[in-house]
Amino acid sequence: MTLDILAMAPLYQAPAINRIGPKTDPSKRPADPLKPLVLSRTKLTTIEAKRIMSILDEAIYKVELVTLLSYVASNREDMEGMLGEDVMRAVREHQDLCQVLLENVRCLKEKERQLQEQKEAEEEGWLRDRLLSIELQKSSLSPLTQQIKDSTKNVLRLLLSNPQAARLLQMQTQGRSTEAQNFIDSLIELRGFLFEKLLTSPMEARDKAQFLQDISRQNSNNQQIIDTLEKELAERMKNRNAEVEKENFVIQELKNHLHQVLKFSENSLVRTKQEAEKQQKADFRASQARVAKIQQEILQLQSQFYNLVMENREAEQALRKEELEDLDAVHREEKISLEELRRRHKVLVGEFAQIREEREINSKKRMEAEQEMVRMVRAATLIQALWKGYLVRSLLRSKKKRGKGKAKDKEKGKQKGKEKGKGKK
């Protein structure tokens, strides 16, 4: 049935980039906190249930392939190397049949539209002929539809006989339309529901129904409580609205009073401003008179200041002249002292250079003596080491000579013992 429905659909559909999700497995779902609704089993146990799921999985797999035929037909060059020549030939035949079906359907719709537009204006005989033509064209669609179904089955047969090509085609999910993807998602969701139904035992079904009844009863009680609370809330909201209206009335009265106060304050402000402007004008005239008087006093003080400055300048010049003569005398005395200090400095510089040269000579001699002492210490250390080595070697030679002498005495004793034994025999 699924393949028949898909075979009737148009071959060319707008591509939509939708990837098909994996088949949902209830055994991998997170645990439901509602214990009565949790299934006790996670795998199918009966052969009938497994066969049902296998048939549904096979149908979903075929639907995934069939919904990609439009993408294959629109991308022949890219898909020919992947699917093979036989599959592409079958897809082309299927494409041609779908094009013929679409064209016939389009013509049929156009005739029906024209018939609706000209139904009242034309004669009855013409309308009867046109209706007969439309019915004949509709009857011709049935064999064409059957051919498309057979063509779809043929393409599926070729794809299923070539698993690699089918797998490559199944990976081209970007070519599937949105409607086809939604249909596949619905089939996958149906599979999940069916899988859960097959896992549910009769006892679990009764427990689930009882649990749902309890939930429904509890929901009814909760709804009654909610209705009561809503009534109380409506009553309280009504009282609150009455209080709000009272408060709004009081606020309006306060606003009116405030408006009157603001109006009175504005009038008072205008009067105060007028009085301030009058006072400002009077103060301005008085200040102008005071400014003129002060300017006259400033001119008199400036004249007095100029006279005092000239007198002070003359006195300062006289004082500076006396101070300059004193400084000139002091300068001459300090110049003589400077010449004496320079002469003494030259003498001290010569003496310092001689002392520094003597210090350098003494330093060189001291360094040479230290280096000589270091060489003598190294030589004494080397002589001591050589002497100690010589003593050790002499001691070792004397020990070796003693050992050899003892070994010779032992051999002589043994030979004498042997000779004594032979004489006794």
pLDDT tens string 228-255: 999 889 998 988 888 888 888 888 888 8
Q: Average pLDDT in the 342-347 region?
A: 85
Average pLDDT value for residue range 314-337: 83
Phi, psi (deg, nearest 5) at residue 386: -65, -40
Position 320 scores a pLDDT of 81
Residue 406 has what pLDDT? 61
Q: Is 160 inside a domain boundary?
A: yes
Question: pLDDT tens across 352-411, in order?
Answer: 888 888 888 988 888 888 898 888 888 889 998 899 888 888 888 888 777 666 666 666
Identify the pLDDT of residue 10: 37
Q: Does 414 have pLDDT greater than 70?
A: no
Decide: 173 and 18 in contact? Cβ < 8 Å. yes
Whole-number pLDDT of residue 302: 86
Q: Is the residue at 378 inside a domain? A: no
Reported as a pLDDT band with limits 50, 70 and 90, residue 334 is confident
- Mean pLDDT on 295-316: 86
What is residue 408's predicted lDDT score, i.e. its pLDDT? 60
- State the pLDDT at residue 39: 54
Q: What tokens were used for 357?
A: 């040269």
Which domain, by its residues, includes 128? 2-200
| Alpha carbon distances (Å) from 271 to 191, 261, 284, 305, 377 | 90, 15, 20, 49, 117
Helix axes 76-83, 85-117, angle to 10 degrees: 140
Percent of the chain with pLDDT strictly greater than 90: 1
At residue 8, the pLDDT reads 41
Q: Residue 39 falls within a domain, yes or no?
A: yes
d(CA 116, CA 112): 6
pLDDT per residue as tens digits for the range 161-194: 878 777 777 777 777 778 888 888 888 888 888 8
In a domain? residue 140: yes
Q: What is the pLDDT of residues 50-100, one digit of tens each?
A: 888 888 888 888 888 788 777 777 777 667 667 777 777 877 787 778 877
For residue 37, the one-letter residue type is: L
Instruction: Give the percent of the chain with pLDDT over 70.
Output: 77
C-alpha dist (Å) from residue 413 to 79, 402, 409, 422: 114, 17, 6, 15
Which residues are CB-contacts of 65 (< 8 A; sequence separation ≥ 6)? 156, 159, 166, 169, 170
CB count within 10 Å of CB 263 equals 10
The whole model's pTM is what? Answer: 0.37
Residue 113 lies in a domain: yes
pLDDT of res. 226: 92
Question: Helix (H, G, I), strand (E, B), or coil: what is residue 68?
Answer: coil
In a domain, 62, yes or no: yes
Q: What CA–CA distances, in Å, run from 391 to 383, 385, 387?
A: 12, 10, 6
pLDDT of residue 412: 60
Mean pLDDT of 249-276: 85
**Would the pLDDT of 208 be above 80?**
no
Total number of domains constituting the chain? 1
Share the mean pLDDT of the chain: 76
Residue 21 lies in a domain: yes
Residue 20 is classified by DSSP as P
DSSP assignment letter at 174: G
Q: Is the pLDDT of residue 38 over 60?
A: no
Query: CA 42 to CA 199: how far, in whole Å?
Result: 7
Residue 332 in any domain: the answer is no
CB neighbour burial string for 326-348, b if at least 16 within 10 angstroms, e if fewer = eeeeeeeeeeeeeeeeeeeeeee
By three-state DSSP, how is residue 1 classified? coil
